[in-house]
Amino acid sequence: MLEVRNLCKSFGGLEVTKNVSFALEPGERRVVLGPNGAGKTTLFNLLVGELLPSSGDILIDGASITGLSVDQRALAGMSRSYQKNNLFEDLTVRENLALAASAGLSKTRWLARDSFHDPEVRDIVQDVAQQVAITEILDTPVHSASYGNRRQLEVGLALATRPKILLMDEPTSGVGPGMISAFNQLISGLPRELTVVIIEHDLDLAFDVADRITVLNYGDVVFEGTPAETRGNQIVRDIYLGDWQADA
Ligand SMILES: Nc1ncnc2c1ncn2[C@@H]1O[C@H](COP(=O)(O)OP(=O)(O)OP(=O)(O)O)[C@@H](O)[C@H]1O
Ligand SMILES: [Mg+2]
């Protein structure tokens, strides 16, 4: 349903995305692994349209979206959470979710909506708060919420637009072990029809939730396979033992 064909991106002379190709089944959970600077976030920026590729194509259900804007891609069902929190600190958790829900609805209806009183917005806020396990802190200002709760809210904002494809950029970055298992539950509990791509550094979580894994290194896809195949793969072991060296 989401397909990437020969995607390339350079910044000046630096090739950050090199001929990246992959295809996701509807409802698939794909984890993207790779060391710092491998080009994982850049790939997400290309998928959502925050960056334009140097060449290559991105397709949803067989139709190219490469020429579409960020808003048009959101309308096509793509939504992403950020590696670093991207929240309105002085608003409550509920208000943050309501704004995201309302933006998602307005895009489909071409209406400005009154986020806080619209029953449809209220329903989405409740649903999403449950999905990301933050119902207890809906009326807490974001700046007073724990770091882990803020990471959950970050994913909630992406879900509040009711996407078909959810991209999560290191949802567990900076959280402790207890919170990693909370994210494991969160991801496992997402609706099965939602297609999910997760950039993740925690290998146990990755192996647990992924249907398939794509490994990036220096902008190249160096491996794709099931969690079991990935676990046994020498290239992946080398990268994660920190002594990866290109053959060239
Ligand atoms: N706007 C930009 N201009 C120039 N270089 C960039 C830009 N964005 C990213 N890069 C470079 O591209 C490479 C890949 O960066 P990217 O953020 O995609 O890596 P990543 O795999 O997400 O890393 P991390 O695990 O640290 O988040 C890095 O060398 C980075 O410095
Ligand atoms: Mg990144």
- 8, 40, 170: which to mutate for ligand 1, most atoms within 8 A of CB? 40
The Å distance, Cα 41 to ligand 1 centre, comes to: 7
Composition of the chain by helix, strand, coil, percent to 5: 40, 25, 35
For residue 51, the ligand 1 atom closest to its alpha carbon is 1
Binding pocket residue ranges, ligand 1, CB within 6 Å = 11, 14, 16, 34, 36-42, 83
pLDDT tens digits for range 55-96? 999 999 999 999 999 999 998 999 999 988 889 999 999 999
For residue 39, the ligand 1 atom closest to its alpha carbon is 18
pLDDT tens digits for range 133-142? 999 999 999 9
Residue 196's pLDDT is what? 98
Residue 243's pLDDT is what? 42
Could you give the CA distance from residue 212 to residue 11 in angstroms, rounded to a whole number?
29
Sign, CA torsion 187/188/194/195: positive
Task: Provide the pairing of β-strand 212-217 with 220-225.
Answer: antiparallel
Residue 244's pLDDT is what? 37
pLDDT tens digits for range 155-194? 999 999 999 999 999 999 999 988 999 999 999 999 999 9
pTM of full prediction above 0.85 = yes
Confidence grade of residue 246 (pLDDT, cut at 50, 70, 90): very low
Residue whose Cα lies nearest atom 5 of ligand 1: it is 11
Residue 232's pLDDT is what? 86
| Cα dihedral: 34, 40, 43, 47 (round 10) | 110
Residues 11-38, mean pLDDT to the nearest whole number: 96
Ligand whose nearest atom lies closest to the CA of 45:
1
In order of their start, the domains of the chain are: 1-77+163-248 (3.40.50.300), 90-162 (no CATH)
Could you give the CA distance from residue 132 to residue 183 in angstroms, rounded to a whole number?
8
Residues 43-51, mean pLDDT to the nearest whole number: 97
Residue whose Cα lies nearest atom 9 of ligand 1: it is 42
- 16, 48, 215: which to mutate for ligand 1, most atoms within 8 A of CB? 16
Confidence grade of residue 104 (pLDDT, cut at 50, 70, 90): confident
pLDDT tens digits for range 198-231? 999 899 999 999 999 999 999 999 999 999 999 8
207: CB partners within 8 A, 6+ apart: 213, 227, 230, 231
Helix (H, G, I), strand (E, B) or coil at 22: strand
Residue whose Cα lies nearest atom 28 of ligand 1: it is 37
Q: Please, are residues 215 and 222 in contact by the beta-carbon 8 Å criterion?
A: yes
Residue 247's pLDDT is what? 36
Confidence grade of residue 109 (pLDDT, cut at 50, 70, 90): low
The Å distance, Cα 26 to ligand 1 centre, comes to: 28
The Å distance, Cα 131 to ligand 2 centre, comes to: 24
Range list of H helices, the chain: 40-48, 70-75, 93-109, 119-131, 147-159, 177-188, 203-209, 227-231, 234-241
pLDDT tens digits for range 35-46? 999 999 999 999
Q: What is the mean pLDDT of the chain?
A: 91
Q: Please, are residues 185 and 171 in contact by the beta-carbon 8 Å criterion?
A: no
Helix (H, G, I), strand (E, B) or coil at 221: strand
Q: How many helices (H) and strands (E) does the chain have?
A: 9, 10
The Å distance, Cα 36 to ligand 1 centre, comes to: 8
